[in-house]
Structure 1
Amino acid sequence: MAATLRRLADAVETVLPFERTTGDEFQGLIAKPDGVVDVVLQLVREGGWSIGVGAGPVLTPLPSSTRAATGTAFFCARQAVEAAKHRPARLAVRGRVPSEAADAQAVLSALAVLVERRSPQAWEAIALVSGGATQAQAAARLGISRQAIGQRLARGLWELERELRPPAARLLARAAG
């Protein structure tokens, strides 16, 4: 768990840092909805997590510890974690606006399935291209053709992921009310 918390701390801007709460659970308060999408997909790729996302207001002033924070977002997150344990994608969203939370959950679940099914070769190509390399540069680094990179990206549904991320973030924002 410590390695996961370090990776998340390095990957996304938080308002309150990720902290272990109880057992194998942790929580954090993320600054922006697109950061939530990033964290969800990182955890899905890592595997083994039940992921609950809570969307709503947080009581202020904020404490120094995530464990001490309260508000609708944290109440919804608790409900979401419990629901996630019983869902095939092991992911649930609960929010102040339930219909928007349900829509966010649907889009994030689709993204989760997409991420879980990627091959190591697709991940390799995606890492290079999303890191700024052109397809030609990625192909040269991997010693394969540019067409092979394109095929890996297509099979990994990279373009679809890029299209679904913004609506997922917008729906999370709406779910918060």
Structure 2
Amino acid sequence: MFVITADQHDSRASADLVPAALDVIVRYGGSALPLPPERTAGDEVQALVATADAALDIILALTRTHRWSVGLGAGTVDDPLPNDVRAGRGSAFIHARDAVDRAKKAATRVAVSADDAEDAEALLRLLIELRDRRTDEGWEVYELLAGGITQRAAAEQIGISESAVSRRVAAASIRVEEAARPALARVLARLGEP
């Protein structure tokens, strides 16, 4: 099982982003959320996530904004589950607290904590660093392709040539990310196994 704990950057000097973050978690977590995500303290949110794929999707969505430090803890969760995530117990929760504390000091704003989590954390940080280099034009193409359309349809929608879309795809490392995400999800899934 996975626990995500995320802490908003500079929350005293900026708007409260917790409601938007909770919406993001619900959108990307879907049925993999055994309990609703919650605000745990002031500018912090926490979510219990059953699958590595959903945890990865949530982490990538939150870190994309550059407004959250995100810790992922993997491990056990005590049964039965409580009524709310704030009352959860188990090693995944302890690891998530450690991870978010370390994420606050990381350039990529993310950390992973579990037994033998070093490889997963290194790969996750590498993917986020790749995404952090993506331009607005790269994100525009990424969003269109993620929505399921072809590069040809993306070119028509943006109003550029197919070759220009191909150049954006290459510059944004979109195909590299597409290949890396399933592999990273498999590495994370091994951390979450009992």
C-alpha contact (below 8 Å) 2:69/2:100 kept by paired residues = yes
CA RMSD of aligned residues (A): 1.1
Supply the AA of the counterpart residue of 1:27.
Q
- Counterpart mapping for 1:7-18 below 5 A: 7-13=24-30, 14-18=33-37
Where in structure 2 are there 5+ consecutive unaligned residues? Answer: 1-17
Counterpart of 1:103? 119
Equivalences for residues 96-175 of structure 1 within 5 A: 97-98=115-116, 101-175=117-191
Which residue is 1:31 aligned to? 50
Displacement of 1:22 in angstroms is: 1.1
CA contact (8 A) 1:45 1:116 kept: yes
What are the residue-to-residue correspondences of 1:50-89 with 2, within 5 Å?
50-89=69-108
- Tell me by how many angstroms 1:138 deviates: 0.6
Partner of 1:5: 22
Q: Which structure 1 segments of 5+ residues have no match?
A: none
Amino acid at match of 2:42: G
Whole-angstrom distance in 1 between the partners of 2:35 and 2:173 = 33
Q: How far did residue 60 of structure 1 move?
A: 0.8
SS at match of 1:15: coil
Identity within the alignment, %:
43
The TM-score with structure 1 as length reference comes to 0.94
How far has the Cα of 1:11 moved from its partner? Answer: 2.1
Give the Cα–Cα distance (whole angstroms) in 1 for the partners of residues 46 and 119 of structure 2. Answer: 22
| Partner residue in 1 for 2:68 | 49
Structure 1 letter corresponding to 2:124: L
> If each structure's helix is expressed as a fraction of its own residues, which one has the higher value?
1
CA distance in 2, matches of 1:144, 1:64: 51
Find the counterpart in structure 1 of residue 6 from structure 2.
none
Question: What TM-score, normalized to structure 2?
Answer: 0.86
User: How far, CA to CA, are the matches of 1:120 and 1:109 in structure 2?
Assistant: 20
Q: Residues 114-170 of structure 1: CA distance to partner in whole angstroms, max 9, x if unpaired?
A: 111111111111111121111111100111001111111111101111111112111
- Shift in Å at residue 7 of structure 1? 2.2
Letter in 2 for 1:124: E
Q: Tell me which amino acid in the other structure corresponds to 2:140.
A: E
Deviant stretches of 4+, over 6 Å: none
Q: How far 1:9 moved relative to its partner?
A: 0.8
Give the letter aligned to residue 12 of structure 1.
Answer: G
**In structure 2, how many angstroms separate the alpha carbons of the residues matched to 1:140 and 1:41?**
28
